[in-house]
Amino acid sequence: MIRHLAFFHQHLRELFLKNASPDIADPDLRRLARALASLPDRQHEVFRLARFGGLRPQAIAAHLGISEDAASRELVLALQMIGRSVRRQKRKGW
């Protein structure tokens, strides 16, 4: 149930970002930028620390003060949400 609410919340945020990032010429990169911007705060932070900061879930957990399992779950959820968002935007022709 919570996961469905998270996906719905992301979809709503995505709608407000439809015309965001017009300065990015590549449509695939623009979709990815919108997908990242539409993530809930926790997933965005975990994804940023993992992918751009190069941290593992154990280090992310220590940095955010959460369990290692929670950090891993948040990263998996962020990746799922990004994938769904990019596919949805592509389907809609954004």
Residue reference for tokens 């389907």: 91
CATH number listed for the domain at residues 2-12+27-92: 1.10.10.10
Q: Using one digit for the tens of pLDDT, what is the confidence trace for 52-86?
A: 999 999 999 999 999 999 999 999 999 999 999 99
Mean pLDDT value across the chain: 89
Binning pLDDT at 50, 70 and 90, where does residue 20 land?
confident
Is the alpha carbon torsion for 91, 16, 49, 4 positive or negative? Answer: negative
Q: Which backbone phi and psi does 39 adopt, to 5 degrees?
A: -65, 145
pLDDT for 1 equals: 59
47: pLDDT strictly greater than 90: yes
Domain ranges of the chain: 2-12+27-92
Angle, helices 27-37 vs 2-16, to 10°: value is: 130
Split at pLDDT 50, 70, 90, the class of 21 is confident
Instruction: Say whether pLDDT at 3 is over 80.
Output: no
- CB count within 10 Å of CB 2 equals 7
